[in-house]
């Protein structure tokens, strides 16, 4: 039967259209960890698998010894069958070979083998035998549980994909770590994802943008409306998901994808040009990155530097914290790649929706850390607060960043400042880290600049005090909006109230820019607003001359800047800042965009 056309609304993330087949992520599928391993860890991984098999074997034996004499005979038969399955070489041996040949972890190898066996069972004519695939699955689940030992969960894609099938993941929610993990999957051609929860500036959404993955978050009812294998179109620019579109719609979407491709070719021609307004004012366009490898995208987009390296992504999704050397390598890699262009490394912004694995957290010891679970993590121990609570963690990172300053123009950016004393403490830690390096006779650039982020209203209102001790400032509008409007940026139920055009938000941004310009301290915006075409002129008019954004946005923003004049922009900004109604502000921005496009 032909499936009905449906559509869903949410918040679009990243730009463009994605077309693919739906894969619904059941909550239980989140319970399998999948990662690649080093060759030297193969024996260890096989050892893990072997002991997990023995644990399950013992468990089944034990269960059997507890069977009540009057229990139905099926119970014993069922346990025997499971022991048989467990001992079958197809399940016991094949995953070991997979670990050796594909260098993957035991859980992953097991699930690959499981899917193979299930497929074979599915092909059997006999209904009873076909049903046995459930038993195989149950046995595998037991082994996976034994392997997990209560460890955190990860995304597993167990669906068999047809060759050439692009996948659209439909989930209730995806954590940033899940998206990170999917990024590394060579066997999955992920076209995009739809989640029922989450807001457009949640860290999951930001990561999606950095992967260039069109997505719609906060699409209520997605898992009810969409069925496994449905044809799904994500239209991120229209905040829409279309399920089983008509042929005509599909033709239109494909045409739009082609048009976007052609526009991208045009944009590439702007790569080598300096961004300038029509009245000749040069603008710096820098890139936000999450991982060292992303520096490549920044270079491809012709970025004037890295305006924000979200270093916390080096710390997430792993059980051991990165050592000083590992961090040094990561920071130095970016600094080298950028060949003298500035690289702003933000110190660890862990907390809220970006959490360390439990084992990693435990390895930090007691510190002054908050007990888990925190009642309100976005307002809790996050970012600079976290670093000040765990001095060794902070010092290790600072030493690594300072050492990397030897190979490029590295700057340090401190997130989530609210108090002047946090700046004082952060600077004292930098001084201590430098002293430690001097004692070790390790080199660093003594002039490394330290800057601060304006993400909390208190910081926006204290710029004159903050810049007495800091060399540059960067406005994190994602959090500034969250904390000004008291909206959890990851909570879809209040996403409609997360309004970047709220006069209070615009007022704080404008005031911060003005105070920095007056104090002659360089200031940039590194929140998502910097990459929004709709905001380019307004921010220019407020005095912004340094934008930092996802690499994919650099060329479109550059193209827009060529058409804008600072004088018109200043007029627009003073008009908007006098306006109290976000709807009228929006209308003024749309009018201004049309006027500049018509020129
Ligand atoms: C911000 O808050 O705007 C920002 C750039 O930091 P993050 O999005 O990583 O919290
Ligand atoms: Mg932030």
pLDDT at 524: 98
Q: Is the CB of 527 under 6 A from ligand 1?
A: yes
Ligand 1: which atom is nearest the Cα of residue 288? 5
Residue 190's pLDDT is: 85
* DSSP, residue by residue, 349-368: --BTTB---HHHHHHT-STT
**6 pocket-lining for ligand 1 (C-beta < 6 Å):** no
Look up the pTM and report it: 0.70
455 Cα nearest atom in ligand 1: 2
* Helix intervals (H) in 151-269: 176-183, 203-211, 222-225, 247-268
CA gap 510, 461 in Å, rounded: 11
Q: Quick one: angle between helices 73-87 and 42-65, nearest 10?
A: 160
* pLDDT reported for residue 212: 78
- Ligand 2 centroid distance, CA of 415 (Å): 7
Handedness of CA 337, 340, 342, 344 (dihedral sign): positive
What whole-number distance in Å separates Cα of residue 521 and Cα of residue 586? 30
| pLDDT tens for each residue of the chain, 599 residues long | 677 899 999 999 888 999 999 988 765 444 577 788 888 889 999 999 998 898 888 877 877 776 656 555 556 666 777 788 888 888 888 999 999 998 999 988 998 888 888 788 777 776 666 667 767 877 887 788 788 763 333 455 555 556 667 889 998 877 655 665 565 566 778 899 999 887 777 767 777 777 778 999 999 999 999 998 899 999 999 999 999 999 999 999 999 999 988 998 999 999 999 999 999 999 999 999 999 999 999 999 999 999 999 999 999 988 899 999 999 999 999 999 999 999 999 999 999 888 888 889 889 886 666 655 678 899 999 999 999 999 999 999 999 999 999 999 999 999 999 999 999 999 999 999 999 999 999 999 999 999 999 999 999 999 999 999 999 999 999 999 999 999 998 888 898 899 999 999 999 999 999 999 999 999 999 999 999 999 999 999 999 999 999 998 999 999 999 999 999 999 999 999 999 999 999 999 989 888 876 76
Two tokens at 137? 């699955």
Residue nearest to atom 6 of ligand 1 (CA): 476
Does the CB atom of residue 477 touch ligand 1 within 6 A? yes
Which of helix, strand or coil describes residue 60?
helix
Residue 13 and residue 208 in contact, taking contact as beta carbons nearer than 8 Å? yes
In whole angstroms, give the CA distance from residue 57 to residue 84. 10
CA of 498 to the centre of ligand 2 (A): 15
Question: Can you tell me the distance from the alpha carbon of 447 to that of 468, in angstroms, rounded to the nearest whole number?
Answer: 17
pLDDT at position 80, please?
79
* Per-residue CA distances from 321 to 363, 393, 426, 493 (Å): 8, 9, 21, 34
Tell me the CA–centroid distance for residue 476 and ligand 1, in Å. Answer: 5
Ligand 2: centre distance to CA 477 (Å): 7
How do residues 320-348 score in pLDDT, each as one tens digit? Answer: 999 999 999 999 999 999 999 999 999 99
d(CA 287, CA 353): 22
| Gap between the Cα atoms of 384 and 456, Å rounded | 12
Give the model confidence (pLDDT) of 297-328 as tens digits: 999 999 999 999 999 999 998 889 999 999 99
Active site residues: 203, 526
């Amino acid at each position: 039967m032909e499936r009905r056309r449906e559509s869903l609304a949410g918040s679009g993330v990243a730009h463009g259209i994605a077309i693919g087949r739906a894969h619904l992520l059941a909550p239980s599928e989140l319970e399998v960890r999948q990662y690649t391993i080093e060759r030297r860890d193969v024996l260890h991984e096989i050892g893990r698998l072997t002991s997990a098999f023995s644990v399950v074997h013992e468990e089944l034996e034990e269960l059997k010894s507890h069977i009540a004499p009057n229990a139905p005979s099926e119970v014993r038969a069922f346990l025997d069958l499971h022991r048989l399955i467990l001992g079958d070489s197809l399940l016991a041996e094949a995953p070991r070979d997979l670990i050796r040949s594909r260098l993957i972890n035991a859980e992953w190898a097991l699930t690959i083998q499981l899917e193979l066996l299930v497929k074979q069972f599915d092909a059997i004519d006999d209904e009873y035998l076909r049903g046995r695939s459930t038993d195989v699955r149950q046995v595998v689940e037991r082994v996976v549980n034994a392997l997990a030992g209560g460890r955190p969960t990860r995304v597993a894609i167990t669906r068999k994909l047809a060759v050439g099938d692009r996948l659209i993941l439909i989930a209730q929610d995806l954590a940033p770590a899940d998206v990170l993990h999917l990024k590394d999957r060579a066997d999955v051609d992920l076209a995009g994802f739809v989640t029922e929860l989450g807001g457009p500036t949640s860290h999951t959404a930001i990561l999606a943008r950095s992967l260039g993955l069109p997505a719609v978050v906060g699409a209520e009812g997605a898992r009810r409306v969409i069925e496994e294998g449905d044809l799904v179109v994500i239209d991120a620019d229209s905040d829409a998901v279309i399920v089983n579109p008509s042929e005509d719609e599909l033709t239109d979407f494909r045409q739009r994808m082609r048009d976007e491709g052609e526009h991208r070719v045009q944009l590439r021609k702007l790569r080598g040009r300096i961004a300038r307004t029509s009245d000749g004012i040069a603008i710096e366009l820098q890139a936000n990155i999450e991982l060292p490898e992303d520096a490549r995208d920044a270079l491809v987009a012709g970025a004037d530097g890295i305006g924000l390296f979200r270093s916390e992504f080096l710390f997430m999704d792993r059980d051991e914290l990165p050592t000083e050397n590992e961090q040094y390598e990561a920071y130095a890699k970016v600094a080298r790649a950028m060949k003298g262009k500035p690289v702003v490394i933000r110190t660890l912004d862990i907390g809220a929706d970006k959490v360390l694995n439990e084992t990693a957290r435990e390895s930090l010891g007691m510190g002054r850390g908050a007990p888990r679970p925190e009642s309100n993590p976005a307002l809790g121990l996050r970012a600079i607060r976290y670093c000040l609570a765990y001095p060794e963690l902070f010092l290790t990172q600072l030493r690594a960043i300072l050492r990397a300053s030897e190979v490029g123009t590295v700057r340090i950016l401190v997130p989530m400042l609210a108090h002047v004393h946090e700046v004082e403490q952060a600077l004292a830690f930098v001084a201590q880290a430098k002293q430690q390096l001097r004692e070790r006779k390790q080199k660093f650039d003594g002039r490394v600049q330290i800057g601060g982020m304006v993400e909390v209203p208190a910081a926006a209102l204290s710029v004159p005090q903050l810049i007495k001790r800091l060399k540059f400032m960067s406005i994190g509008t994602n959090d500034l909006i969250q904390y000004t409007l008291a909206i959890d940026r990851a909570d879809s139920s209040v996403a409609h109230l997360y309004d970047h055009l709220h006069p209070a938000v615009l007022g704080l941004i404008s005031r911060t820019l003005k105070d920095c310009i007056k104090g002659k301290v360089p200031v940039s915006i590194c929140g998502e607003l910097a990459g929004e075409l709709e905001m380019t002129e307004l921010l220019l008019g407020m005095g912004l001359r340094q934008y930092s954004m996802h690499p994919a946005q650099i060329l479109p923003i550059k193209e827009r800047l060529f058409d804008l004049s600072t004088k018109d922009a200043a007029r627009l900004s003073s008009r908007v800042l006098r306006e109290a109604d976000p709807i009228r502000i929006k209308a003024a921005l749309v009018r201004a965009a049309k006027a500049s496009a018509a020129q």
